[in-house]
Amino acid sequence: MQAVYQGRLFRVLHPMTRSRTLYLLCSCMALVLNAQAQVSELGITGGVTYYIGDLNPYRHYPKYTSPAGGLFYRYNFGNRYALRVQGLYGRLEAYDRNSPDTLQQIRNLHFRSSLFEGSALVEVNFFKYRSTDKDSKKWTPFLFVGLAYFRTNPRTRLNDTWYDLQPLGTEGQGAGENASKDPYRLDQVSIPFGAGLKANLGRIDIQLEWGLRRTYTDYIDDVSGRYADPAILNPLAAELADRSEVDDPEDRTGTARGDSQTRDWYQYTGLSISVLLTKFTECDALYFRRRR
């Protein structure tokens, strides 16, 4: 009975009252949906990677950059913070022969490796930033830091054939005096950190970033310790472990092949484009028209 009475009462209300009531409901829905629309983004990224280590301790851009790209998902926690989950594929490489260092040229090693990376990154915006908030900034610098799992597989070329280096144990892993030394792992963890700039174009966000990866391995390039005795290596491993082209080279067994006191790094610089996952509704449009 009460419901019937309330329905009749609403029908006799002035049309303006009903219009305002409908507008209020739409406004509330718009606020909720607008907040949801800003939460999630899906995007693609493309750029370049390069490596820093025993075969490239000094030189960066543009000598050893390689194309890279991937996908990411971003979850925004308000205006200041976001969590980004990202998958990245690229390549790392370096060549002693291209180094200005004479000792590196004599060593004459090189490597190339694919790079697979999965990371979780926390982003901190300098300014209040929301993709659909009319009162916040349309651009902001940001910092990021996180944790990444990555996998590499260093290879080298001999007579137009590429060989995987890790199974060969080029520094004597698993042979002779190093029989108790296991081969290095191809999958590792790293700490990504860096900075960037993001800008909003409606439902589209554009982002430019530069980031380093601090790793805990010195074998991205297969070079770290000392030259092993060629006698304990198989013929292929012995040939790939010492690529010096100097005539009648001295016995290098036990001498430094790399710097085991440092760790390898790699870097990614990229441009990203993301799109908001929730579309505007008619109530959203009504809400923003009335605000103007």
Q: Between 239 and 182, whose confidence is greater?
A: 239
Question: Average pLDDT over the chain, rounded to whole?
Answer: 83
- pLDDT of 132 reads 54
Interval 112-131: pLDDT, tens: 999 999 999 999 999 988 64
CA distances from 286 to 130, 240, 253, 276 (A): 20, 69, 78, 19
- Best CATH choice for the domain 40-280 from the list 1.10.760.10, 2.60.120.10, 1.20.810.10, 2.40.160.20: 2.40.160.20
Whether this prediction's pTM lies above 0.75 is answered by yes
pLDDT of residue 28: 45
The pLDDT score that the predictor gives to residue 247 is 62
pLDDT at 73: 98
pLDDT category of residue 280 using cuts at 50, 70 and 90: very low
Mean pLDDT of 183-204: 95
pLDDT of residue 181: 76
Residue 290: pLDDT band with limits 50, 70, 90: very low
Which residue from 142, 266, 290 is spatially nearest to 209, judged by alpha carbons? 142
Residue 252 banded pLDDT, cuts 50, 70, 90: confident
Condensed to tens digits (0 to 9), the pLDDT of residues 68-105 reads: 999 999 999 988 999 999 999 999 999 999 888 899 99
What percent of the chain is modeled with pLDDT above 90? 60
139-176: pLDDT as tens digits: 999 999 999 999 999 999 999 999 999 999 999 987 76
Q: What is the percentage of the chain residues whose pLDDT exceeds 70?
A: 76
Per-residue confidence (pLDDT) for residue 36, from 0 to 100: 45
- Mean pLDDT within 45-71: 90
Q: Where are the domains of the chain?
A: 40-280
pLDDT of 253 strictly over 70? yes
